[in-house]
Structure 1
Amino acid sequence: MEGKGRLLLPAGTAGALLAGGILHLAGAGRAGDLVFAAATVLALVPAVWWVATALRARRFGVDAIAALALAGALAVHEYLAGAMIAVMLAGGRTLEERALRRARRDLAALYERVPRTARRYIGGVPQPIGVTEIARGDLLLVPAGETVPVDGVVVRGTALLDESALTGESLPVERDEGDAVPSGVVNAGSPFDLRATVTAADSTYAGVVRLARETEAGTAPVVRLADRAAAWFVPATLLVAGAAWLASGDPVRAVAVLVVATPCPLLLAAPAAIASGLSRAARHGVVVKGGGALETLGRARTLILDKTGTLTAGRPQVADVVAAPGGDAAEVLRLAAAVDQVSSHVLATAIVRAARARGLALPVPDDPREEPGQGMAARIGGRPVLVGKAAGPRSSRWEAAVRARAALDGAMTVWVNLAGRPAGVILLRDAVRADAPRTLRRLRAAGVDRLVMLTGDRAEVAESVAAVLGVDRVLAGHGPAGKVAAVREEVAGATTVMVGDGVNDAPALAAADVGVAMGARGSAASTRAADVVITADRLDRLADALDIARRTRRIAVQSAGVGIGLSLAAMVVAAAGLLPPAAGAVLQEGIDVAVIFNALRALRPARGTRTRVDAATEELLRRFQLEHAGLRPSLELIRECADRLAADEPAAAREDLRRVHEFLTRELLPHEHAEEDRLYPAMSRVLGGPETTVTMSRTHAEIDRLVRRLGRHLELAGLDGPGPERLADLRACLYGLHAVLTLHFDQEEEAYFSLAAGASAA
């Protein structure tokens, strides 16, 4: 039934029941019985059709019970009971359709918003075209209020984007020139130009839509369990009804048993709960390929995670800039970024981003060119600069020390050569996601027993990440074939989930019980191979998905089990002659409604393992998170000052100390004091008491102490600078301050700021 047709059967049977009741009250009992009988026949016809359809598919389902109850009511002249059964059956079917439509509403919203047109620049003028005509490299205009048609890069303008439909994030986000933008998000600001990087068919949103169309609740194992239960429930019902008739000689008892043996708890509970869970997951930016995947995710005990792009950001970041003896780190970074402006290499992008974050002015390079096997070369201010490998001899102690440090830190190195000699080196690392430690703790709390990190990276790099996250096993240096073998080994021991984002992760995703793709930046191959796609570039959505899956499975089993249990109890009472058919119909409808509404609880948000924060606290978290991003680059001033301290240059040392002290007192300490006064009290309320922030407050006190000590050193240095006798303590103070601040920033970002990243999901 479609449209108004859906309401025909419930409206007809309800109208007949009402009319028959009025006739009985008016004293026209025979006419009322005829109307009741008509209502029964009106429902019996489609019920017989449903049974015949099931038999043609070689299934004998619980619809047969409803048909037998209607026919039995007519046969024993229980016309009122028959009419009530008809209303209950028609209402149940309508309620089923409405429940499933509501449960799938969020999934349907995903593909209802598919962009169908775009505006491509032709001869410098934007012209409307179909999205299927977009080719890689096309320049597109994205007007205000329109959906981004394909994945691309912002070419001109600043993009203010509403990503809520794709990621669940309620607040608009900004993307600057050069930033990637996924398809499916809405331009919430001014028009901007976009360079397409893929076709519409290969875009992020197209993959999400394909998954949404494949998503159905009926494939879940718990739903198949309900189907198997129906195989014994129908014969058991007929057996109880027949026994009641034989024992009493009264066919009305058999009809009463059939009436209370309604199919609704079996037919509706599991599918409605699973569909609700799928919809809830979609609202969190997690698209699940079918109820089977959601149900299996809810049973997961082992979780395998790829490192790069999953546990780490997947984008190298500048960790440090080390200038050659006598050089300046800021100048080294400025020269490298100026040359790398014209490079598309991922490391070049990171270097340019770091330079702009530090406010460095970048000149336009002259004669830029790529030197095969060496790097990017250009002339800056008439001087030749090469960014890539080290030039000239590599025997100096300084270079050896830098290489040793990079090896120990697991960092990548980019050498900056000026006029054929190394001027400095830039160290880059792929940082651990801020939300990764908290997410892994949430996964353990949700029931995951084993966490495995699987990567093709070097063992020493993998171990450094694993040490921060506390995983149970590290598998490093694995290619695609090795990853598949490792996944199969874990699958043999427990229900296993594999999470990855690259092309080389696709076979491993397919080998796992459930494959999860980080779809926001993941490859098309991994997205197609996965059972679950996280559309937001946030790992905490994985913990949300697991919470939803476990709760959905629990509600589905609970709803079906309780509904069947109540039906069986009612059948016993009816078989004993204590429940007439009409009363049984009312009782069973109450059971049906309770079961359906219980199943729809899976639509509602639940606390799960997520720590919820209020809007005011979230605003504070975002404010201080932005301040951290601005302060972090300047922390390197402290270490650079310690590195340059020398007994033979006291005046230069004093100037360095003055700059560092000025940064600490004017910028950093006000930030730390504001956190102590405003953020920490709010976090105490959210996390359950002042003990949750006491260690952070103790770190603030240590930072204050070290800054005061540094200020005292500056006072004692006078105009001539620090004497040789104070250099050792000065270095210890500076290195200690740098270490404490770096660790403190990391701790706050993990323990506090990561809460803001997922707090807005509805």
Structure 2
Amino acid sequence: MTEPSRRPSGIAVVLLVATTSLLLVGAALFWAKWPGAAVAWGVGGALALVPAVWWAWEDLRAGRFGADVLAVLALAGTLAVGEHLAAVLVGVMLATGRALDTMAQRRAHRDLSALLGRVPREANLLHDGHVTTVPVERVRPGDLLVVRAGEIVPVDGMLTGDGSFDESALTGEPAVVERGRGEPVRSGVLAVGTPVELEATRSARDSTYAGVVRLVEQATAAGAPVVRLADRIAAVFLPMALAIAALAWLLTGEVVRAVAVLVTATPCPLLLAVPVAVTAGMSRAARRGVVVRDGAALESLGRARTAVLDKTGTVTAGQPSVIGVVTVAGETVEHVLSVAAAVEQLSGHPLARAVVLAARAMDLRPPPASEVSERAGRGAVGRIGDRWVAVGRIDSAEREREPWMRRASARARVEAASLIWVTEDDRPLGAVLARDDIRPDAAHTIRRLRRAGLRRVIMLTGDRLENAQDVATVLHLDEIQARCAPEDKVRRVGQEQARATTIMVGDGLNDAPALAAAGVGVALGARGSAASAQAADAVLTADRLDGLADVVELARRARRIAVQSAVTGVALSLAAMGFAAAGLLPPAAGALVQEAIDLAVIVNALRVLVPARTERSRSRAVDALLRRFAAEHPALAEVRLAVRQAADLVRGGYTPAAEAATRRAHRLLVERLLPHEHAEETQLYPALNPVLGGPESTATMSRGHAEIERLVHRIGRLVEEPGDQGGELCAALYGLDAVLTLHFAQEEEGYFVLAQPSRNTEPGGTSGHGDRPSPG
């Protein structure tokens, strides 16, 4: 059977109209007892025979003995023995299957081809204050561009000012996303509001949207080649049908019985149910932000048993974020972060970006900095008022100068974090700890993959073993391999592929060979390299790992429905063939029975277009609550950092500075953290209970709220208690820090990922800022 997408779609519709019309004309003549009914039906069968012969020839030329061959035999047989009504019914059946397939193909490809119509052709180049419209191919990295409201961003770039964007074409998220100066913006998103300026970071050819469009074009051209499954069924079913027909003829001498068997065995629409189901699955995947190259890739995703994941940028965020601030006695977290962000605002280094984003999340207002300059391998320095502030590295000998500095260095080693030192006029103020953390949706994604049927989840990384072990422990991975070069990844993926169909997921240039070597390569296209996207069989257009679980579940469901449709139809056809061979089902009646079978299984295959129960979205009110509380977590970083700072100071003795830090932390806890926890308890959790299966589903998290409140009140009592309470206070502060860390992680990984928040950020450039994280 030839791939349906390569056939002229209009033939099926014309054939359906013609054969149906001739069937009805013949029926009218028959009931009116006028001559010509057999002629009308015969002409209808003959009309169907012409394209059927062509389709059968395409099958044979491609080396397939497919369903179209059997359709030709059935049509020719019915016409030869004078069963004209049966002939036109077979023709209507054939045309109906083709028409249904065409409709399904059009609906499926509509979601993919919509991307093609949005391809930017021109860009507004800003040079010396003048805007010139040029072909998008002329844009080079470093060029300044202007994108007006209502225009598509033509290339990937970095904003030079604030902007608002509709990113739904890439992420599926309908909400307008606000981006600030220095933040990345991807090609293919729509600018809304005021015009924005950006500096191109990639050419049009290497930008995000171009890679997605190339994949869509390949997917559209490839059709739905999971007819491999249909061909495998046909390879067994069709010879069996011919054998039954031949036996019926030989044993009874009645050629009509043989023709009836061929009529009931004509499964062209039946086997079209397989590509219909798979193409519908590709459509559903596109709506969920995953573009699959072709049906073969979707089938392989449905059969996969092993997933191999890159670490940095795949299971981790791919960019560092601030996890702590250690300050000298008398300094506050806010002051250290504010002055550091003031100097780092114009830097493109990932660690600088982490500092700026942390200050923004805490709603800090960095003071103006002047005379800012980069120091190769050292960081940045700038003037704030009459003082010079330096952010970046300091000599190793300096790190051991004071106890708080030694504690900061030790904590960085234990937590595998980078240290960003902040000094003012060569006097250390504090150190910022930053780390590339695990994606909030990573654990949830891996649990879903295991539920979908994957037996092994492996992580390969170029990072150090101890860093990889921390990630593997949190995510409950089956195996890890650290210090991997690209050739090591290719070799390991090949070994896994030899055992079972393997998915490789990555985003970097070094992942491209492994993606190509896997049974199915999946690239994170939002921030990944163009090479990885081109080598992949599927691309996650949104910067979320849970798109991987989405497409695996969709592929499993599409393949299950396709097999169900094919097997059920074949079983029913075999039963009908038995009745036909026994003389209980004449050709005309057999054609009607087969028509009903084929329509039933094709309609069943179209169920793929209907979201599964697990895919159906929650109410907008629940989704809004999830987004609201997820957005509040980063803003509470100031509170959590203040708790840790107070604990570190109290650990060194209950000095006036430690007391002041503790009182400030307690005030923030009472004024900001507890109201957030109370609101979750009274608003979010009751709304989630029906979604998660009842109040017991959030009971353990409610216990966490109670423990947090208990510790906050205990810290308040200890602060007011006269006498030496340093040890108890230190334990309460560290205990609260641990509980908050666990509780926030549980909410982010267990609840907030259900809202599928858009996390479209991109690492910046490179310069010398502190201890660089190892690449994964």
How far is the alpha carbon of 1:620 from its aligned partner? 1.1
Query: For 1:443 and 1:3, how far apart are their aligned partners in 2?
Result: 37
**Map of 1:444 onto structure 2:** 450
CA contact (8 A) 2:625 2:684 kept: yes
Q: Secondary structure at the match of 2:160?
A: strand
Q: How does 1:292-441 map to 2 (within 5 A)?
A: 292-391=296-395, 393-398=398-403, 399-441=405-447
Task: String of CA shifts for 1:577-634, please: whole Å, max 9, x gaps.
Answer: 11111111111111111111111112221135x6953321111111111222211222
User: Which one of the candidate residues 647, 670, 677 is aligned to 2:675?
Assistant: 670
CA distance 1:259–1:393, change in 2 (3 Å): closer
Query: What is the rounded CA distance, in whole Å, between the counterparts of 2:557 and 2:380 in structure 1?
Result: 53
Structure 2: state its 5+ residue gaps.
Answer: 1-6, 760-776
**2:251 is matched with which residue?**
247
Q: How big is the shift at 1:286?
A: 0.8
- Pairwise CA distance, 1:653: 4.7
- 8 Å contact 2:289–2:540 — kept in the other structure? yes
1:282-310 CA-to-partner distances (Å, cap 9, x unmatched) read: 11111112111111111211111111111
Cα drift, residue 712 of structure 1: 2.3
- Correspondence for 1:118 among 123, 127, 137: 123
Residue in structure 2 matched with residue 720 of structure 1 by the alignment: none
| Structure 1: tracts of 5 or more residues without a match | 718-722
> Superposition RMSD on alpha carbons, in Å?
2.5
What pairs with 1:502-541 in structure 2 (closer than 5 Å)?
A: 502-541=508-547
> Counterpart of 2:185 in structure 1: which amino acid?
V
Q: Corresponding residue for 1:628?
A: 633
Structure 2 equivalent of residue 167 of structure 1: 171
Aligned equivalents of 1:330 and 1:469: distance in 2?
33
Say yes or no: does 1:617 pair with 2:616: no
Q: What CA distance in whole angstroms lies between the structure 1 residues aligned with 2:92 and 2:653?
A: 97
Tell me which residue corresponds to 1:483.
Answer: 489
2:33 counterpart of 1:21: no
3-state SS of the aligned residue for 2:390?
A: strand
Distance 2:57 2:225 in 1: 25
Please tell me whether residue 691 in structure 1 is matched to residue 690 in structure 2: no
CA contact (8 A) 1:390 1:416 kept: no
1:269 positional shift: 1.9
In the TM superposition, what are the counterparts of 1:25-424 in structure 2 within 5 Å? 25-28=31-34, 30-159=35-164, 161-215=165-219, 223-265=227-269, 267-391=271-395, 393-398=398-403, 399-424=405-430
Superposition deviation, residue 26 in structure 1: 2.1
How far apart are residue 419 of structure 1 and its match?
2.8
Instruction: Quickly say closer, same or farther: Cα 1:83–1:178, change in 2 above 3 A.
Output: same
**TM-score normalised to the size of structure 2?**
0.92
Distance (whole Å) between structure 2 residues aligned to residue 422 and residue 110 of structure 1? 52
Q: What do the CA deviations read for 1:407-450 (whole angstroms, capped 9, x no partner)?
A: 11111111223333433211111111111111111111111111
Q: C-alpha distance in 2, partners of 1:328/1:57?
A: 74
Deviation of 1:15 after TM superposition, in Å, equals 1.6
Question: Which shows bigger deviation, 558-567 or 264-273?
Answer: 264-273
Q: Which moved more, 1:458-467 or 1:646-655?
A: 646-655
SS of the aligned residue for 2:448 comes to helix
Q: Structure 1 CA distance, aligned partners of 2:529 and 2:652?
A: 54
SS at match of 1:710: helix
Shift of 1:89: 2.1
Helix, strand or coil for the counterpart of 1:156?
A: coil
Alignment partners' CA distance in 1, 2:347 and 2:172: 34
- Return the alpha-carbon distance in structure 2 between the equivalents of residues 53 and 650 of structure 1: 87
User: Is this contact kept in 2: 1:202–1:524, CA < 8 A?
Assistant: yes
Alignment-derived partner of residue 751 in structure 1: 750
Q: Distance in 1 between matches of 2:608 and 2:85?
A: 36
Of 546, 551, 573, which aligns to 2:552?
546
CA contact (8 A) 2:9 2:102 kept: no
**One-letter amino acid matched to 2:689:** S
How many angstroms apart in 1 are the aligned matches of 2:56 and 2:498? 41
Pairwise CA distance, 1:519? 0.9
Instruction: Compute the displacement of 1:536 (Å).
Output: 0.7
SS, match of residue 291 in structure 2 = strand
Compared CA separation, residues 670 and 517, structure 1 to 2 (3 A): same
- How far apart, in 1, do the equivalents of 2:588 and 2:470 lie? 70
- Greater mean deviation of Cα atoms: 260-269 or 569-578: 260-269
Partner of 1:424, secondary structure, is strand
Identity %: 55
2-side partners of 1:250 and 1:758: how far apart?
67
Q: Is the contact between residue 154 and residue 192 of structure 1 (CA under 8 Å) also seen in structure 2?
A: yes
Which amino acid is 2:98 matched to? R
Conserved? CA contact 2:627–2:757, under 8 Å: no
1:5 CA drift (Å): 5.5
Q: 1:182 to 1:409 in 2, by over 3 A?
A: same
Local SS of the residue matching 2:503:
strand
Alpha-carbon distance, 1:737 to partner: 2.0
Residue 206 of structure 2 aligns to a residue in which SS?
Answer: coil
**1:642 counterpart (638, 647, 651):** 647
Displacement of 1:640 after TM fit?
1.7
Could you state the TM-score of these two structures normalised by the residue count of structure 1? Answer: 0.93
Question: Secondary structure of the equivalent of 1:396?
Answer: coil
Tell me, in whole angstroms, the C-alpha distance in 2 between the residues paired with 1:647 and 1:58: 80
Query: Contact 2:139–2:203 at 8 Å: present in 1 too?
Result: yes
